Structure 1
Amino acid sequence: MFKSELEKVKEHTEDFIKIEPPESFESFKIMELFTAQMPEIELKFLLKKVLENKKPFERFKHPIETSSFREAWFEFQQNELEKIVAKKLEHGIKIKLNRI
């Protein structure tokens, strides 16, 4: 489906900066930041407990999905991921410029 696009990428790899998915510590930090800014005391307390226990990634999802903060979580997460990508791009561009 994307054969021609992939060929172009292969031909010009030096023009691209590969962005890997966030490390687990970065994803965990996003969950911590979201929890810290929660205005809803009961949910905030529950999420803090989830983050302190085993399998926080698994257990964080359910309370969010069943709350009125579901959309706020997705928006917050998206914004934080964009910040991470921006930092990685900035770093990648600096590295690239230093090679020139």
Structure 2
Amino acid sequence: MEQNILDFGVNYDDDIIKEIAELIDCGHICFLHTEQALVEYYPKDIDLFYGESNPWQDIIDKVAGDQEHYIRIEQMSSFQSFQVMEDFVANKVDSLNFRSSLEETLRRPGPFRHFKYQVEQSAYREAWFDFKSQCNIDWVRLQLADHGV
């Protein structure tokens, strides 16, 4: 397995990068411990779900108490996620009819929900998941690079 050796002297293998990418895709905020290659996470909208009885409080406290060793990794913005959909349509959809349909979907209200429904009902379902997964992996790598890692 290929490994990425980063400035901190810790090996972050592709499995860690992929784990973080999957977690942020599921709506979590992730933290990577730069010395131990340890991933911690909690839901992005934690206050909406748990209020004062927060089962994630131990992780929040752990990360807050050691901020110098954790890098925060978040989801793409809505704008960036929209660009991923546009890139998929432009570069991965070879059916002209389906491409036109998706382009129209992206111009209408509620593009995320409608795009997801259309793609998941199509022959492009797996290609979309693979493309989106790779974009999330690249996004994680970019955030790590922005932190000098």
TM-score normalised to structure 1 length: 0.81
Number of the residue aligned with 2:127: 72
Alignment: residue pair count: 93
Q: Partners of 1:3 and 1:24 in 2: how far apart?
A: 27
After TM superposition, the structure 1 = structure 2 runs for residues 21-40 of structure 1, keeping only pairs within 5 Å, are 21-37=75-91, 38-40=93-95
After TM superposition, the structure 1 = structure 2 runs for residues 38-57 of structure 1, keeping only pairs within 5 Å, are 38-57=93-112
Q: Which of the pair has the greater relative contact order for Cα pairs under 8 Å at 6+ separation?
A: 1
Residue 26 (structure 1) shift? 0.5
Q: Partners of 2:133 and 2:143 in 1: how far apart?
A: 15
Q: Which has the higher strand share?
A: 2
Number of the residue aligned with 2:3: none
TM-score normalised to structure 2 length: 0.56
Give the residue type in structure 2 aligned to 1:11: G
Change (3 A) 1:2 1:50: closer
Where in structure 1 are there 5+ consecutive unaligned residues? 95-100
Residue 12 (structure 1) shift? 2.2
Identity %: 32
Where in structure 2 are there 5+ consecutive unaligned residues? 1-54
Q: Which has the higher helix share?
A: 1
Residue 71 (structure 1) shift? 0.8
